[in-house]
Each structure stands twice: as structure tokens, then as C-alpha cells.
Structure 1
Amino acid sequence: MHRLDTGGSVKRSAPCIAVLGTGSDVGKSVLVAGLCRYFADLGVRVAPFKAQNMSNNSGVTPEGLEMGRAQIVQAEAARIAPHADMNPILLKPTSEIGAQVVVLGEAIANSSAKTYHTMKEGLFQVASEALERLRSRYDLVILEGAGSCAEVNLMATDIVNFRMAAYADAPVLLVGDIHRGGIFAQLIGTLACIGPAERERVTGFIINRFRGDPELFADGVQWIEAQTGKKVYGVVPWFSHFDIEAEDSVVIEKPKPAVPSSAADHRIGVIRLPHISNFTDFDPLKRIPGIELQYVEQPMKLDGFRALILPGSKNTRADIAWLQRTGWAGRLIEYGTSGGHLLGICGGYQMLGRVVADPEGLEGSPGESTGLGLLPVHTVLQAPKVTTRTEFRWGDAEGLGYEIHMGQTMHESAGRPLLAIRSRNGVICDDVDGCTAFEGRVMGTYLHGFFDMPAVTARWLSSIGLGALAAEAVHGPAGRDRAYDLLSEHLQAHLDLDAIRRLVEDACPSCS
């Protein structure tokens, strides 16, 4: 594909590769991140792109715009700053049938699934224009699909899988997850469900998450290639020696029941809210030797936990109702008032307060909900949405996080701020955030990415009596960067990356 530059001469647009999947959570996001790091290390200016993402796990760009966390991870892997063009459409579910629609980094509407389908043609144009801007700035763009690329009832209105791959004239790598079983049916069945043009665009397959010796699957590879006439680019083993942030909360669905004991002195619990958002806030804690981070869903005795965290929520009032309905509310209040350590992040911070009011019905029916009452604050949900990259200080510990919220939280007379805010979106300010009570044992903040800076993590761990563990950890940006290197090495060991590179090298001289 070609375009006209500002001088009127014809200039080649960057080529694209598309990574599509046989289903959700087959590893597309992680594979794109690994390919981004691989090509970046070759000296290729590479960028990720996902036309439409559905996730409550989001982040903020340097410009103060919101985008999917997975594309931020992929941009980090590519060694570039994230930009809203990399995820021009983000759907943030607020209920089983509704979502907030974020376009080019800004929330534009709350929509039902049915209404959203009427918007998709216009949004495809928005996404196409965003892709073209990326193609004008980079040497290579790696597209990620969404869910299964063979949902026959949705293909007519698809704007993220084969239609976008065709628009970009991108060769398709089809990813299947062998760990969940049925890999032959996943791959062959996908080809059977799509049309001839789409089958022609699929150049081959990546078989992901293999446990055991990949050599034992050699006959399976031969069968797939004989049946389809397409190449298997590799069998990627399951990895456990590094972690990459997951795209969506499907990875923490139905957590195993926790079994606290007096010996579980280093256990930290995260309440698995129905509308949990930004659960990757807590990934740095998982990387600290000696800490057991556990997501908990069913109410239980809490005396076996050193600390509990209430995470962000895309529907705060609905999740408060869930806490009350399930009995969690009473247990958390008892835990917080009887010596336990509680931390609330964003929506979790709002829940720890006394009231959350939604007079305009931004997250559902207008009204207000009684919170847990552990912090002397109250919240009013209101537009516009706050999306900032925020520098803060907690005592002598400096941090960089991000804010994404529709609420304003006000202190009551006894409220004591937690953090000093130094800047938002690069603008110096003198502000405060959060609240603390019960001699510092209960605290809340709007800051996502709270644990990204080791100094902040160390201070929090010290506050709950685990400060000695923090010195052993490498996490935050440095830890993620090392993980991207290890991911790239993992793919180089198990994929035919030379063959993948050849898919675009004629149009991308720096890829050759």
C-alpha cells in the first residue's frame, strides 16, 4: 500500500503483520509483545495496533489519553511511548450488555452492545485512519486481533480481525492454545468457518502454551501442515521464568479458594470484584520473593492475610452492592477496625469511604450507595473523566502512576491525605491524593501503578510489616523490561522468526 506525503510524492506505507486467534486468551497479546521486542532489537521501528479492545484493564498515554493496557505493554516492548492510535477503540464493560466507549483515548458514550453495533462502520474508519498514522511513522506495525477471528455471527460487522487485516494487506498468523485442548479442532475448525479470501490470508500457525517436550508434537505439526498446506511457525512452550502482564481479567476468573493459616504470614489478598479493573496493578507484588498474592472471591475468615486490597472497579456502586450482598462488607469492616491492613485503589478507594453518589447515572441508575465507612471521605461520580499520568510522593518515596476515574472524592473533617501530587500530565501542581485512617492501617488512593516504583512498594510493605522482603525484588519498569527480553529470547528459541520476518521484508528493508 502507498500514500502521498505532504509534498505530493508517493511514499510507501509501513507493512503489517496480523496476529489473530482461535479464541480469547490464547496468548495473542503476549506474542505481539514478544514480536515487538524481537523486531525492535533488530533496529526496526515497530509499533503495536489493536483496532478495538474490550477490557477494563487500561492505562494512560503521556498525552493523558486512555488506551488498553495490553497495547501499553506492547509499546513498552517495542521501546516506544504508547499512543492512543495503537488502540483507537476501547470498550470498558460496565454490565453484561453495556460498556463505556473510549475513542482515541477519550470516553464518548455509554452504550449497549446492540447500539454499539450501529456505530461500528464509523469506528472502522476511525481505526483505519489511526493505523495509517502509525504506518506513516513506523517501519512495521503488528496488528492484534480480538477473541476468535471466526465468530461467524459477528464477521459481517468485524472491525478488528480479518477486515482490518485485509485493509492493511497483512499476512495472518493464527494462534491456538494447545493447553486448553483441541488444538487440531481449533486450527482446522477456524479455517473451516472463514471464507476463501480469509483462508488465503492465513499464512500459517503458532501453537502456544505447550507443556512438555515440543519434539513430542512433531507428528502433530506434520499433520496440521499436511491438512492445511500452511506452515506451523513453531510450538511455543509454557513459560514460568518470567511474567508478562495479562490483557484481561479472564486470567483471574474463578480463583481457587484461599486456605488461610497462621503460617501464611506473607499472604496478601486481592478481592476479586465482579467489575474489577486494572488488576495488573498488583503484578509487581507477585514478583517479590516470599509474598503470596492471592485473589479471593468467596467471603472467608481474613485473619490469615497480612493485608487486603480492594482493587479498581468499572462499576463501583454495583460492586459495593455485591460486597454487601455476599457478606464481604461486614468481614472487611471487621478486618479494618480490628487491626488489619486495607488498601483501596481507585474504585476500591471510593468503596472504603462513606458514600458513593452517582446523580447522573454514569455507571447505572442514578442514586447513591453506602460505602464501608472506613475512610472519612465521600465520592460523587461526575464527568469529565480524569485520565492523567501522575507524579507523586509518599513521604520520601517518589512514584509515577496514572489516574482513570469518573469520580471526585472529598475529605470530611477527619480526613488525612495519603500522597502529595507533584504533577499531572507534565503540569507541575501542588495537590494531594488519597486518605488514610486507623493509624495508617487503612488507606486509599486513586493512583493505578502504585506499586511500579520499588521505593513506594518498599514503603507500603514496611507499613504492613514486610519491609525486609522488598529489597529482594526487581519490579516495575525495570522488571517488565527484563521480562520482554526473556520473552523475545523464548520466541527466538521456539519460532521460525526468519520465516515471519520474510513475510514483510520486501516492504520493510530494516526487517531484512
Structure 2
Amino acid sequence: MKPNTHNKKTPCLAAFGTGSDVGKSIIATALCRFFLNKGFSAAPYKAQNMSNNSGVTPEGLEMGRAQIVQAEACRIPPHVDMNPILLKPTTDVGCQVVLQGQAIANNTAMEYHEKKEKLFSTACESLDRLRSQYDLVIMEGAGSCAEVNLMAHDIVNFRIAEYADAPVILIADIHRGGVFAQIAGTLECLPQDKRDRIAGFIINRFRGDIRLFDDGVKWIEQKTGKQVFGVMPWYNHINIEAEDSVVIESPPAVSPGNFDIPAIAVIRIPHISNFTDFAPLSAIKGINLCFIEKVQDISPFSAVILPGSKNTRFDLDWLNKVGWDKQLRSYADKGGHILGICGGYQLMGSQVHDPYGLEGKPGTTRGLGLIPVETTLKAPKTTTRSRFAWQGVEGTGYEIHMGRTERMGGSPMLTVLEQNGQPPENSLDGCISENSRIMATYMHGLFDTPGITRLWLDCIGLKHIKTSGISGLASRDLEYDLLARHFEDHINTEAIIKLIQRP
């Protein structure tokens, strides 16, 4: 990280929300690129992130994907200080705790709650290091910043903002309705000192003629005595990776036979992780990428993908219980193409062994039997940035998995050339069936390399589909600039800058 020699206690600016999925991550990303374009060396920060969508730093450590995106918007390498605490849900009441990039425990909500004070100290230390190295830190909150039952022990919203003495921009989502109640209700739930820390509001996801909301802006400002910094219109021309899988919850059944272009299905398993692996595919104009959850006929799809999972055995049981197992085997028997990535790779084998109870009660779960491999779940967790090759085409990706998979037939899919800058322990990754239609790999970010995407599309019979020569970070960087321009067009950025110029 580039050291900041100007000020040991550089300013912080916080983006909090009236609720979950109101656009905090997007606004924080826009702020990161906006301030970068203004000449600031900025860094993102989120004290505690709860998401199964994670990535790997150059040091081989794990952190939330949203802060990796924001680091990219700042054009700096991601570092675990930007997300010192990552919670990866494994059950409805439990999660894996990743501290400073390393998995340290599987805790229930109550067990984690008892560790909050120590974890808050760690979060503060990370923030202090960022403040000593950058001109500005953009802080992101979590969920609603006004959860009264959680506020006394919250370490990711007002408590860390107070530690940093950061002004807060409160973000509300007009698309979900009740935006006036969102804002007024949030303030009403807060004690006066926390209300005073909120500098103003950004209204997100407005559809229609924005002038029709002028009276709404006036009402909010008169009611609260605080400024509305702007109203961000809905957009369809910018693609920024989503923070977590809430954006693909309860997807509807689809009928690919009604599409005029080929369709690819991603099975939305209960503990889906790293669904952003497929963002490059969704950006291809000649393909319709569909997340599907309820069992349906998949024969019209050109390919089906099994994504990563944070609880492989639970998701296997779910696939077998609801009938996806039979549907997938029938699809494969009739010549369908299936790809598994990471947890999806484990799901596709004959068995998943969990002798140490890493995902619940120790035992073995029957796999889908699509490829001749067996997986044993065991520590330590693999977290690598990797360079690999497939059929002579080199690509870069990353691995995050708790388990080792043994191939007993077929052939390896990838040759791993490098892991975290070092020669790999095992240079062979994944499995391809004898008929070459079923394949799997541990490699996330597979489609970030255009040449790899081209190879896979050719394998599934879509040679006619045109792909862009720009993908991965280069493609995402263009989107961050589009987002910053959209932000500047609709937000009072002069007022935003003044927030960090307080005496």
C-alpha cells in the first residue's frame, strides 16, 4: 500500500443504509472512483462483512468481494485491512469467521456476539493502518444502521464511524417504496448523537422523470433539517458486481425455448458463493444467463453451471431432496454440458466426506455422480491467487475452498502454473469426463480471461457467439468510470467534498 505522508489521521467518509440492499456498496464504489479521479489516494473499508461472496488478496488472504471491487475502483491492491472481519454464513444461525483473511472458527451468532469487543479492537487497528497510508478512507456500513436491538453491540456502523469521527451519508432506496418512512424512521430510531453524525442523504434507484421528486426532496430536507445530496436514477448501462446473493434470491422459473438467443443456467443452491464468477458471461450480448432455483426442465439450456457453495453437504442434500439430482443426471445422459466451479466441483463427485464435522455432524454425503472424483473436507483452507492454463490458453483466477478432491478417472481440466507467486503443490486441477461434456474446477474467476471464455463457449457448441477482447479487471475498470460519471451527474459532489474538509 502506498504510504500517506500528509496526515497520520486522514479523514473518513461513511456510507450507511436505511436497510439491506439499498445500494451502500454501489455508492461506496462510486465514491472511491470519484475521489480517485479528484486526485485522492482513497481506500475502502468495512469493519465487518457478512457474505459468501469473497476473493483473495495478493498475499493469499480472504476478504469480502465488495471491498475488492472498491479497491479496484481506487486502483489499489485489495488488503485484508479493508475488510478485517468476514462472516460467511454456513447455516441459518452459524457462520465461518474469517479474521484478517484467515478462517479462525465456526461460530453460532451467540458465540460470535461474545467476541465482539476483541474483534472491534482488531477492526480499529485495521482502520488506523489504512488512515496512515491513504488520503481518505471510504467506510461502508452493514444492513440498516438503526437496528435498535443490535445497536449496543454493533461494530460496523455508528460505533466505528464514531471512532473515526466520520460524517455519514445515509442511503435510501426509493425503488422498494416508502423512502420517506425509510429516512424519517431511521432518524427516529437513533439517539441524538447518532442523528447528528448523519450529514445528509442520497436517494437511490429512482425510475422516471426525476423532476417529479423535487417536492419529495424539499419534504425530506424540511422534515429532517438535513441535506439531500442527490437522487441517483436507475441505470441499465453499468455493470458493477453485487455484494451478496440477495440480488438473485428466489429466481423465477424460465423457459429458454422462448429466448431468441442461447441460454445458460446457473443452479441457485441455498449456500451459493462467488456468484460473481458469472458476471463476464452475463455481459455477453448473445447469451442469456439465468439463475434458476426450482426444479424445471433444463434440456433447452446450452449448458448448466453448478456454482460455489459454503456448505457443500447441505446443498447436496437439498439437490437430492428437491429432485435436481435426477434432473441433472438426465440432462448429462442426454448430451448436456455441465460445469462445476469450486463447491460445484465437489457436488459433482461420487461422495463428500466430512470426517471432522467442518460442515455439521461428521459423516459422508452422496454426490451427484457426474464425474469420477471424491472430496474430503479438511483444514487448512486453501486461499490462493492462481495462474493457470487450459488447452494452451493462460488465465488468472483464485481458489477458496476447505477440502481436497481426488480424481479417479477422466482427465484434469486445468494446469496450475502458479499459486500466490509460487510453484503449485499440485499442478493438475479439476476433472473432465471422457465425453468432454462434463467438467469441473476449483478455479474462481474462470471467465475473467476472454480466451478461456472463448474456449468454454466453443466446448458447449456456441462457437458462433461473439465475445469481447476486454474482460476481467480491464472491463471492470471501465464500468467504475461509468459509475463515477453517473454519480457526478446526479449528486452534489461539491457538498460531498466539503464533508471531508471539516476543520
Q: TM-score, normalised by structure 2?
A: 0.97
SS of residue in 2 equivalent to 1:141: strand
Partners in 1 of 2:316 and 2:93 — Cα distance? Answer: 20
Which residue in 2 is equivalent to 1:417? 412
Q: Given residue 162 of structure 2, which amino acid in structure 1 is its aligned partner?
A: A
User: What CA distance in whole angstroms lies between the structure 2 residues aligned with 1:205 and 1:221?
Assistant: 10
Deviation at 1:440, TM superposition (A): 1.2
Is contact 1:265-1:304 (8 Å) kept? no
What CA deviation, in whole Å up to 9, does each residue of 1:465-509 have, x standing for no partner? 1133243464321221111000000000000111111111357xx
Contact 1:179 1:211 (8 Å CA) reproduced: yes
Match of 2:29 in 1: 33
CA contact (8 A) 2:7 2:135 kept: no
Q: After superposition, what is the alpha-carbon deviation per residue over 1:82-108, rounded to whole angstroms, capped at 9, x for unaligned?
A: 000000000000000000000000000
Matches within 5 A, 1:57-68: 57-68=53-64
Supply the AA of the counterpart residue of 1:482.
L
User: Which residue of structure 1 lines up, in the alignment, with residue 193 of structure 2?
Assistant: 197
**Range with greater deviation from structure 2 (470-479 or 102-111):** 470-479
2:157 match: 161
* Residue 330 in structure 1 maps to residue 316 in structure 2: no
What RMSD, in angstroms, separates the aligned Cα atoms of the two structures? 1.4
- Kept in 2, the 8 Å contact 1:178–1:208? The answer is yes
Residue type at the aligned position of 1:375? I
Deviation at 1:302, TM superposition (A): 1.2
Runs of 4+ in structure 1 displaced over 6 angstroms? none
User: In structure 2, what is the Cα distance between the partners aligned to 1:336 and 1:172?
Assistant: 52
**Partner of residue 427 from structure 1, selected from 422, 426, 437:** 422
Q: Tell me, in whole angstroms, the C-alpha distance in 2 between the residues paired with 1:209 and 1:250.
A: 16
**Aligned residue type for 1:408:** R
Instruction: Give the whole-Å Cα distance in 1 for the aligned partners of 2:90 and 2:7.
Output: 43
Which residue does the alignment assign to 2:212? 216
Cα distance in 2 for residues equivalent to 1:452 and 1:377? 26
Larger CA deviation: 175-184 vs 262-271:
262-271
Task: Verify: 1:49 aligned to 2:45, yes or no.
Answer: yes
SS at match of 1:235: strand
Matches within 5 A, 1:209-358: 209-261=205-257, 266-358=262-354
1:129 maps to 2:125? yes
Counterpart-to-counterpart distance in 1, 2:388 and 2:6: 47
Contact 1:47 / 1:78 at 8 angstroms: preserved in 2? yes
Which amino acid letter does the alignment assign opposite residue 310 of structure 2? K
* SS of equivalent to 2:405: strand
Q: Tell me the distance in 1 between the aligned counterparts of 2:336 and 2:78.
A: 38
Specify the SS of the correspondent of 1:284: helix
Aligned residues between the structures:
499
Give the aligned partner of residue 446 of structure 1. Answer: 442
Identify unmatched segments of 5+ residues in structure 1: 508-512
In structure 2, stretches of 5+ residues that fail to align are none
Contact 1:289/1:473 (<8 A) preserved: no
- Classify the secondary structure of the residue corresponding to 1:295: strand
1:475 is aligned with what amino acid?
S
Partner of 1:180: 176
Measure how far apart 1:262 and its partner are: 7.2
**Given residue 498 of structure 1, which amino acid in structure 2 is its aligned partner?**
E
| Equivalent pair of 2:350/2:366 in contact (CA under 8 Å) | yes
Between the aligned partners of 1:265 and 1:289, the Cα distance in structure 2 is 9
Name the CA distance, whole Å, in 1 between partners of 2:299 and 2:467.
26
1:51-90 correspondence runs (5 A): 51-90=47-86
Are 1:389 and 2:381 an aligned pair? Answer: no
Partner-residue secondary structure (3-state), 2:193:
helix
Cα distance between partner residues in 2 of 1:16 and 1:205: 17
Tell me the distance in 2 between the aligned counterparts of 1:458 and 1:250.
29
More moved, 212-221 vs 421-430: 421-430
SS in structure 1 opposite 2:477? helix
Q: Give the counterpart letter for 1:435 in structure 2.
A: C
Contact map agreement 1:276 1:313 (CA 8 A) in 2: yes
Q: Which residue of 2 aligns with 1:488?
A: 484
Distance across 2 between alignment mates of 1:206 and 1:461: 41
Does the Cα contact within 8 Å between 1:264 and 1:305 map onto a contact in 2? no
Please name the residue that 2:140 is paired with: 144
Name the CA distance, whole Å, in 1 between partners of 2:481 and 2:319.
40
Higher mean C-alpha deviation, range 329-338 or range 227-236: 329-338
SS at 1:382's partner residue?
A: coil
Asked if structure 1 preserves the Cα contact closer than 8 Å seen for 2:200 and 2:227, the reply is yes
Distance in 1, matches of 2:106 and 2:422, equals: 29
Instruction: Give the SS at the match of 1:384.
Output: coil
Q: Secondary structure at the match of 1:166?
A: helix
Question: 1-side partners of 2:456 and 2:297: how far apart?
Answer: 23
Quickly say closer, same or farther: Cα 1:195–1:201, change in 2 above 3 A.
same
Taking the aligned partners of 1:197 and 1:415, their CA distance within structure 2 comes to 63
Q: Does the Cα contact within 8 Å between 2:266 and 2:291 map onto a contact in 1?
A: yes
Question: Between the two proteins, what is the percent identity of the paired residues?
Answer: 58
Q: 1:262 to 1:191 in 2, by over 3 A?
A: closer
Structure 1 SS opposite 2:465: helix
SS at match of 1:467: coil
Instruction: Give 1:242 deviation, angstroms.
Output: 1.5
Counterpart residue identity of residue 425, structure 1: N
CA contact (8 A) 2:341 2:444 kept: yes
Q: Is 1:84–1:104's contact at 8 Å kept on the other side of the alignment?
A: yes
SS in 1 for 2:361: coil
Counterpart Cα distance in 1 of 2:343 and 2:115: 29
Contact 1:13 1:136 in 2 (8 A): yes
Using the size of structure 1 for normalisation, the TM-score is 0.96
SS at match of 1:156: helix
> In structure 1, what residue type is equivalent to 2:135?
D
